[in-house]
Amino acid sequence: MARRSDSQATLFCSVDVTDRGSISSAAGTDDKDFGTWVASPARYEGSDVVDGSDGVDIKRAGTLIGSLDIYALPPEWMRQDLGDNIGSPTAPAGSTEDDEDRIHDPDFTSNRAWTSSNVDKYHRRAEAAAVAIQKHFRGNQARKAGAALVNATPTLEKDDQDYDPVNAGPACAVEKEGKTSLTGSRLAQALSQNRQWAQTSFHVYHERTEAAVIVLQKHFRGAIARAEAARRRQDKILQMNSVIQETHSRAALNIQRVFRGHLARRRYVILLKNRHWAQERLVAAHVKTEHAVDLLKTAFHSRKASA
């Protein structure tokens, strides 16, 4: 089903595809200097968009969301001469008055803005991938993510040169200032050129991502080495603490033994002194007792003699 969009001057036509379809032709111009054509990426859940042998064929890959839009880009001489200033009223040397008018055509400016926005979108994807790599520090996963980012661009290859726009399926035609339709082979060639440009940009971002991964891997290995050294130092400290604790335990036992021996010796000395004191008292009492016995014997014998 072909439909026309009035919201964007450079949107020439759009094709809704639910299972399998093809773009046979698109409204454009027979003037080779008017510009090239590019298809905006259709949003898929699954594989990429690929081409077929019967035109720019849209194969079902997962679930299609949206449609395929056909745009016009500025001609090569304008891209080379004006660069990012596509809206500047400056034409290359030797250009005609018609060329001057084309510079002011809002279609070219809008397409330049559309292209820049897509470049920014791809750049944001690469930046997001780099941030994810920095967060996770996964070298292999980062390389796979970078490769997936490169391969995520929809691919529309060049069509056969003998393509027949009349008998190749549903046509997409929009009238624009009475200009003739663009043949399928030229459309396919334009799509292929834009695909090569997108792939080149993705390869640049992929190389930057690879370089960032290498740097992060070096830092990550350094962090691992530092963590390992810190762990070894911690193990050594724990081992020294264990030795210190064991030494303290031995010292405590020795102190206890010495203290107990000291107390025992003090007790022994006291007991020995008490024993000597008791022996002295016992000897003194015995001597007194013997003296008293002698006195009693003497008194008894004296009284007996006097009686």
Q: Is 251 within the bounds of a domain?
A: no
Owner of token pair 């990012």: 84
Sequence-distant (6+) residues with CB within 8 A of 257 are: none
Q: Classify the phi-psi angles of 5: left when phi > 0, otherwise alpha if psi is within -120 to 50, otherwise beta.
A: beta
From first to last of the 307 residues of the chain, give the pLDDT tens digit: 333 333 333 333 344 433 333 333 333 333 333 333 334 344 333 333 433 333 333 333 333 334 444 444 444 444 444 344 433 333 334 444 444 454 455 555 566 666 666 667 766 776 776 666 556 544 555 556 556 655 554 443 444 344 344 443 333 333 334 443 444 566 666 667 777 777 777 777 778 888 888 887 787 788 888 888 889 999 999 999 889 988 888 888 888 888 888 888 888 888 889 888 989 999 999 999 999 898 888 888 888 888 7
Q: Is 167 within the bounds of a domain?
A: yes
Q: Is 127 within the bounds of a domain?
A: yes
Q: Is 30 within the bounds of a domain?
A: yes
Q: Which two tokens stand for residue 254?
A: 């020795």
Q: Is 298 within the bounds of a domain?
A: no
Residue 8, CB-side half-sphere exposure with 13 Å CA sphere = 17
* SS3 at position 134: helix
Q: What is the pTM of this model?
A: 0.23
The range of the structural domain enclosing residue 91 comes to: 2-227
Q: Is 23 within the bounds of a domain?
A: yes
Q: Is 201 within the bounds of a domain?
A: yes
Sequence-distant (6+) residues with CB within 8 A of 19 are: 60
For 255, which DSSP code? Answer: H
Q: How many domains does the chain have?
A: 1
Q: Is 238 within the bounds of a domain?
A: no
- CA atoms of 17 and 2, how far apart (whole Å): 10
